[in-house]
Structure 1
């Protein structure tokens, strides 16, 4: 049976809220440092073209 004690529910919700704040803080640090971010359109196009060249050159070979 599930325990629906209001005090325990509020305690868990508080822990979750504090953890969410920590996670948001560290995610913001990663974005600001440049560790994670949105690539510029020309860089994305360049990566896709090089991937396409790589895959099309090995399409006829078997491994």
Structure 2
């Protein structure tokens, strides 16, 4: 099955580390990153989709962070 996650967070080193950790765990980038500006918090927010092929069948009980 193919799993999908959309990682989001402030445009900082922490976000980059989360994406790097996902890539190190076998996730692959899907599409281009997205950026938006949050005027309330005064910062840029990033988003990046990642996908991963795993064995098994999909279930609502799947915890994506376990993969």
Fold-level match, TM-score > 0.5? no
Compare the two structures and name the one with the higher strand fraction.
Answer: 2
With structure 2 as the length reference, what TM-score do the two structures score? 0.25
Compare the two structures and name the one with the higher helix fraction.
Answer: 1
With structure 1 as the length reference, what TM-score do the two structures score? 0.27
More contact order relative to length (CA 8 Å, sep ≥ 6): 2
- Structure showing greater Rg: 1
